A and B are shown apart, each in its own frame.
Chain A
Amino acid sequence: MTWNAACSWLRAGLMALVSVLWIAPLVWMVATSFKPQDEVTTGEFRLLPDEPSRMAQFGYENYYAGREHFVGADGIERAGYEGVLTSDNVHFILYLRNTLIVALLGVSGMVISSAIAAYGFSRVQWPGRNTVFMCVLATTMIPFPAIMIPSYFLFKSFGWIGTLAPLWVPALFGNAFNIFLLRQFFMQIPNELSEAARIDGLSHWGIFWRIILPLSRPALVVVALFHTMFVWNDFLGPLIYLNHQETFTLALGLQFYQAQHGGTPWNLLMAACTLVALPLLVLFVLSQRTFIEGIASTGIKG
């Protein structure tokens, strides 16, 4: 074995260790969600439950059906508990529906209007364009907490508090970061294409709709993914604008669930966390390449 090969295996070993370290909390989360309640807090470090063959049953109980009263490993009888999806006062399916509504409306608006603005900043020539674009970029520095209080009263005057509207309507107008991303992409499309289209009699709108958008699909998907991530993640917005649980999103619902349980039944809480995180993980697996390339492209200066 050459020195170089040994070196690269050593590095691989180190990276493997680090990766395991990084993924361990998630493995721990899933493992906990497949344990019965009395085995979660035994103080012994175990990944699998005492009876690994019953994992499917424990999982079914934690995630779905719950459990009648039972006798613990220590012989003490304990009260049963409700499964995450069938608990009486927390409705994850409803929260999923609300999150999907916010994501769907927000994503479609965000993609279209960011693309329109990005077209204006890349394919239309006008004096002052770059100056205005710098101002657009500068708005990414405005933190949400700086505007949340007046926004609350603004939305209150619209009658939007307690509805999902504050979470998706602002997305219909695009956002600076996504405009930046799409502008980068649009600028790489050869100008000859739009000129040819122009000669064929297409207007700006025609060029945008028939040439630029179809050619920019990967970038549009990236914006859609980013906004979906944002919606799934957003906690402060729902916390402020939503006031009854029929309108909760998953992030807020998860916190509500934890608050209801006082934070002790870790098997249930981890099952709930797994459920909330799962859709994004699946989405990532399905769109891994686009996702990674999209994030990579944010750092490159145009």
Chain B
Amino acid sequence: MNGSRRTSSVVGNGVATGLLWISPWVVGFAVFMLVPIVMAAYFSLCEFDGLRRPVYIGFDNFRTMLSDPTFWKVLKNTTIYAAFSLPLGAVLAILFAIALNAPIPGRTLWRALIFVPTLVPMVATAMIWMWVFNADYGLLNAVLSWPCSLFGCRPPSWLQDAHWTMPAMIILSLWPIGHPVVIYLAGLQDVPTVLYEAARIDGANAWQRLWNVTLPLISPTIFYNIVMGIIFVWQVFAIPQIMLRGGGPQQNVYFFSMYLYDVAFTFQRFGYACTLSWVQLLIILSFTAFAFQLSRRVVHYQGGTP
């Protein structure tokens, strides 16, 4: 960046001009984010039913939370969901991207087909998969019935069986994988082919090339996708809410945002809901901060750190 040269030649600069240009965003941020976050912080210390004025009760809501079994349940569910869907999604997306980056016949078509599910609105996704997962007439069990009959077992009743609701949600989370695949593909295209040739001359096999050339060079992309994944996975709402409102059998897929929604808009306990929302915010922030810490050691930026 040759910032100093630019500064001297462009007039009308300075903090005032800069702030003027970003002022629309600043106003929007203040009104639609900062004010709500501060309000949430205050409500989280209140008893608030949405009708009468909020009553300050100190940290009672936090105490309620710690002894609320449903809170622990949704925390556990969301953690399990995140712990499976994030790594599985990352590995699968990288594999697909590598496969689709190679010059194979029909590449454009396969890319498009994998990407299309990301365009389906989530409400429709939820309904399509309720139908796919349908125990008696669904597509998945129609396909599974053949291998299952070979081994003499029955295909699972995905959405009615407490053991299978979580696997169903994790499988479903992999469907819109086209989005990260496209981002990984872009990352792979930035890897200079010279490096692969050099590695080949040095006698590196395919596995070594993947481990020592490809992965380090796309590590910034991996990092980006993981951070985005952390932020989104903790907010998962629409799909489980429509498929299994209240979390299905034994509440095994009752996720954090679903509980938050219910506490607020079903039980009208807005104060307690704000406590939960602050906890959710802190969880996302700390996981992201942790990822950033880790990235300092693992992520490799071409041309130094940004």
Q: Which A residues are closer than 8 A to B by beta carbons? A: 8-9, 11-12, 14-16, 18-20, 22-26, 28-29, 32, 40-43, 45, 113-114, 116-117, 119-121, 124-129, 132, 136, 139-154, 170, 172-174, 176, 179, 191, 194-195, 198, 203-204, 229, 232-233, 235-236, 239-240, 250-252, 254-255, 258, 263, 266, 269-270, 272-273, 276-277, 280-281, 284, 288, 292, 295-302
Contacts and interface: CB of A to CB of B under 8 A. Distances in A.
Contacts of A119: 21
B124 A8 contact: no
B9 A195 contact: yes
A300 B190 contact: yes
Interface of B: 3, 6-7, 9-15, 17-22, 24-25, 27-29, 31-33, 35-37, 39-40, 43, 50, 96, 99-100, 102-107, 109-117, 119-124, 127-132, 134, 136-137, 139, 142-143, 145, 175, 177-179, 182-187, 190, 220-221, 224-225, 231, 234-235, 237-238, 241-242, 256-257, 260-261, 264-265, 270, 273-274, 277-278, 280-281, 284-285, 288, 301, 306
Contact of B17 (A12, A23, A124): A124
A129 B13 CA distance: 11
A121 B130 CA distance: 45
A45 B142 contact: yes
A117 B128 contact: no
Contacts of A263: 130
B131 A29 contact: yes
Contacts of A191: 6, 10
A119 B281 CA distance: 30
A126 B15 CA distance: 5
Given A142-B33, A203-B12, A284-B116, A179 B25 contact: yes
B11 A277 contact: no
Given A120-B20, A173-B27, 4 more contacts: A23-B116, A142-B37, A147-B40, A235-B242
A216 to B, nearest CB: 15
A248 to B, nearest CB: 11
19 contacts: A15-B104, A28-B132, A29-B131, A120-B18, A120-B19, A127-B15, A143-B280, A147-B32, A148-B264, A150-B36, A173-B25, A174-B24, A191-B6, A233-B238, A235-B241, A251-B122, A270-B128, A276-B124, A300-B187
Contact of B277 (A140, A146, A195, A272): A146
A126 B14 contact: yes
B288 A141 contact: yes
The SS class assigned to the A binding surface is helix
B182 A19 contact: no
A235 B122 contact: yes
